[in-house]
Structure 1
Amino acid sequence: MHFKYLLIIICIMVLAVSGCTSHDPNPINKSSVSSSNNSTTAVPSTSTSTSIGSSDQHTEVSGKCYKVVDGDTIDVEGVGRVRFVGVNTPERGEAGYQTAKDYVTNMCLGKTVGLDIDNAKNKDKYDRTLAVVYVDGVNLNQELLKKGYAEVMYIPPSEFNPYSWL
């Protein structure tokens, strides 16, 4: 009699656990992105160009950049809003804001970007994906620092050490 109850409990546990797993090959949040004023936008295409394991060995996912929000935030098809991890560019109204935004716009807008998503913490408090952004194999986070358009902003936990990019 106890064996019957044990068997029932095991079946319930197996069903409960199987409902908790996901078979989504791309766990990135694909929610739509709201638009804001004073941002650079390209019209997104109807097909997504997201791919896992692009040709760049560092990238985990890639997609077309269809909007540049500012010098350290972009919108990418199939991913949503992406925050450059480890760096901080000036905010709107601060000196250097437009220079940083223009650089990212010239490098990213309308192009396929590769993302190396921070495995230690993949989202920030605003639900933006935290990543190193690559265009044509170039680490844009590092380039923003080297060109003086950004400062290091290291917030642990992070798999990346932005001080190594200096």
Structure 2
Amino acid sequence: MMRKVWLSLLLLSLFLMGCIQVYEYKYGVKYKVKVIKVVDGDTIYILFPDGTVEKVRLLGIDTPEKIAKANRPNEYDNITDLEYLAIWGKRATRFVESRLNNTYVYIEFDELAGFRDKYGRLLAYVYVNGTDFNAELVKLGYARVYVEGEFKKKSYYLKLEEEAKRFGKGIWSILYQTQLSIIIQIFK
């Protein structure tokens, strides 16, 4: 009797294992997914067509944290005002929610970065209507380039960041305002 129970459990386990599809990720492939939740400006949850849910870190970028004490002074150049960073963390989150929440996007992986970070999150570029959304966050000043990691688009993202700084976009507006006030003081 006990042998039949064990055999039944074994067969049931094998059957269920065969029913579960494990996504096999590949580089150079764009996967269509649905964004089901925005955690913050650089982290989302996605749903694959097979029902698999994954947490994704937007590759190559870093937005400020929404809580002041979670930010670090000078992580965003010379910005030391942690409350200011938290304000931009909230703005970045709202922007990402407005653009991605409950929408279909494409994600793509990068061989230099690998599939996952040390926290187990997928690392991916996100595309909205064919546009690199990660790059858009940098260009608009919602994010800095995550220089601590390696990825193929790093030099492109760094150029976008420099442009955002030069024009005082988003988070970089405080640097722009500081430079402008110094120039005004010089010419007074």
**TM-score bucket of the superposed structures, by smaller chain:** 0.5 to 0.7
Structure 1 unaligned spans of 5+: 1-23, 29-51, 53-57
CA RMSD of aligned residues (A): 2.3
The reply to whether residue 125 of structure 1 matches residue 118 of structure 2 is yes
- Tell me the amino acid that sits aligned with residue 148 of structure 1: G
Moved over 4 A (4+): none
The percentage of counterpart residues that share the same residue type is 33
Greater per-residue helix proportion:
2
Tell me the SS of whatever aligns to 1:96: helix
Aligned to 1:104: 96
Structure 1 contact 59–114 (Cα < 8 Å) conserved = no
Once residues 122 and 132 of structure 1 are traced to their aligned partners in structure 2, the CA distance between those partners, rounded to angstroms, is 11
Once residues 165 and 118 of structure 1 are traced to their aligned partners in structure 2, the CA distance between those partners, rounded to angstroms, is 19
1:149-160 alignment, distance < 5 Å: 149-160=142-153
Cα deviation code 1:64-112 (max 9, x no counterpart): 0000000000101025011011110010222301110011111111100
Cα distance change, pair 114–88 in 1 and its aligned pair in 2 (3 A)? same
Once residues 105 and 29 of structure 2 are traced to their aligned partners in structure 1, the CA distance between those partners, rounded to angstroms, is 9
Structure 2 contact 34–103 (Cα < 8 Å) conserved = yes
Structure 1 contact 118–160 (Cα < 8 Å) conserved = no
Aligned to 2:46: 76
Structure 2 unaligned spans of 5+: 1-20, 68-85, 162-188
Aligned to 2:172: none
Q: TM-score, normalised by structure 1?
A: 0.62
The reply to whether residue 67 of structure 1 matches residue 71 of structure 2 is no
Larger radius of gyration: 2
The reply to whether residue 27 of structure 1 matches residue 15 of structure 2 is no
Aligned to 1:88: 62
